[in-house]
Every structure is written in C-alpha cells, then in structure tokens.
Amino acid sequence: MQVIILGSGSPLPDPNRAGPSTLVRTKAGDLLFDCGRGVLMRAAAAASGAGAFRAVFLTHLHSDHITDLNDIFTMRWAMSLQPNPLRVIGPIGTAALLDATEAMLEPDIGYRIAHHDDLTWRPTTLVDEVEHGVVFEENGVTVTAGPTDHSPVRPTVGYRVEEGDKSVVISGDTVPCTGLDELCNHADMLVQTTIRRDFIEQLGIPRLLDILDYHSSITDAAGTASRNYVGTLVLTHLVPAPAQGTEHEWIEQAAAVFDGKVILATDLLTLDVSG
C-alpha cells in the first residue's frame, strides 16, 4: 500500500501546493481522499486520474476539499468509452452536493452529448453517505469511517484504510477527538491536516485566528499520533505554507511530543506504508 500526497495545501492558493488531496494506492485500486484544487493535474503526475479512481472519499464539504470534484465528475464521464459511474463516499450532504454539481454542469453535459456521437449516456454517480463503520470492502482492502470534530462544520469523518497488516488514517480537518483516536489506534501512518498555531497567533489576523479552534495544531497532531501508537505522522494541509528553510521547525514541534517518524508533506510525496 502506498500513500501519495497529491495536494498538501490549504484554502490559501500556493504556487507549489495543490489543494488538499491524498491518494492511497491499494490492491483494490486507487482510492482518492478529498479533491482540492489541481487534483487531476497532480493525479496525472502520479499516473492516475478520474477514470482510475476506484472510489472518492470526502472527509467534509468545506470548499477547499471539494473544489475539483466537478473536474473529476466531468473527466470520469467524458473520457470513458462506456458508462463508468463515479463512486463517492462522504458524510451526510454528499448526495445533495453531487446533485448540485450535476446541475451546475448541465450546460456542459448537453454540449458534449450534442457534439460526440459516441457519447450517448449521461454522467452517473454512486453515492454512499457515511458516519461510522466499514464503508468500503474490496479485494482485501477495508476502509472504515469515524466521526471527527471540525465544528461548526458538521458532519465530518476521517477514514482508516487497511490492507493486510498495513493501515493508514486520513484525518481530514479536525481537532483531537475520540472518533479520530479510534481510527488511529496502532495505525502505521496518520495523514493529519495541521496548522502552525504559534505563527498564526503572531500574525494576529482575525480571519486566520478563527481557524485555531477547529483545526489541529502541530502539537495536537503529534499528541494524537503519540497516544494512539501511530508509526509515522505526515503533516499536510499546512497553514500557512512553510517558508523555505523553515520546514524543520514544523518537524521539531511535532518531535517534541511524538517520538515516531514525522514527515512534512509536499505535493507528490510518495510513501510506502509499512505494516
């Protein structure tokens, strides 16, 4: 099992970091977790794409995590040679999101059907709204969802992917909580969205200060990894993006709390999950 960070960025546009998105490469196929801006460009660099995703998992419906869902929706349909429904798994509200996405793209759908004689079907999706428990089982790969806490954004979920004795957790945006702890128990890897609390407090910008109460700080993420005996902690969705030469500061803050391996994500970082 492999983890590929397609996008390590945040809502703040960055020339070097695409929006939040993680690809987990498994025996069941490529599983995509969230789909921020630029996801298909990064997926192409990882030899994947809309047609290859076995399923798309959404942690929550904040715009930066679903920005390019419309691109996946369109390319999955327009580049397939036969009907190829897109499977989407996410929290309550996901079905309405897909309905709205299709409605937004209605003019484009009409244009393409009118222009391509061999495109005789509409795009379709298979949507599962989930809260807790096993949500995907295929070819020896299991994905389990668990509730997280990104209040006032509700509901939100994290996911644990297991293949044989290997396991990786995708946290999504959350503060430390019981649901995340349950997912992380003895996981080989935790991919955790993270903010640099000390830097944001120094900036003192109200709109940025507001994010402190519903994201995990570096020490929060490290604490979650430590108390749940996680093997490797991957810090991603970095707010603000580290200035060149300061990357070690993030790792040092985490290492003060967590004695496992700490990795600061970059786009297209590829990691083997060791069981």
Q: How far, in Å, CA of 123 to CA of 135, rounded?
A: 23
* Most distant pair of Cα atoms in the chain: their distance: 61
User: Helix, strand, or coil here: 197?
Assistant: helix
Residues present in the chain in total = 275
Number of Cβ within 10 Å of residue 96's Cβ equals 12
| H/E stretch holding 255 | helix 247-255
CB 250 within 8 A of CB 142: no
CB 231 within 8 A of CB 261: yes
Q: What are the residues facing 160 on neighbouring strands?
A: 144, 169
Choosing from 30, 34, 64, 68, the catalytic residue is 64
Q: How far, in Å, CA of 178 to CA of 197, rounded?
A: 22
Return the beta strands (E) in 97-254 as ranges: 125-129, 133-138, 141-147, 157-163, 166-170, 189-195, 232-239
CB 245 within 8 A of CB 259: no
Q: How far, in Å, CA of 234 to CA of 32, rounded?
A: 17
64 is catalytic: yes
Q: For the CA atoms of 159, 163, 165, 168, what is the dihedral angle to 10 degrees?
A: -30
Closest CA to 10 of 220, 210, 238: 238
Q: How far, in Å, CA of 62 to CA of 55, rounded?
A: 19
- What residues act catalytically? 64
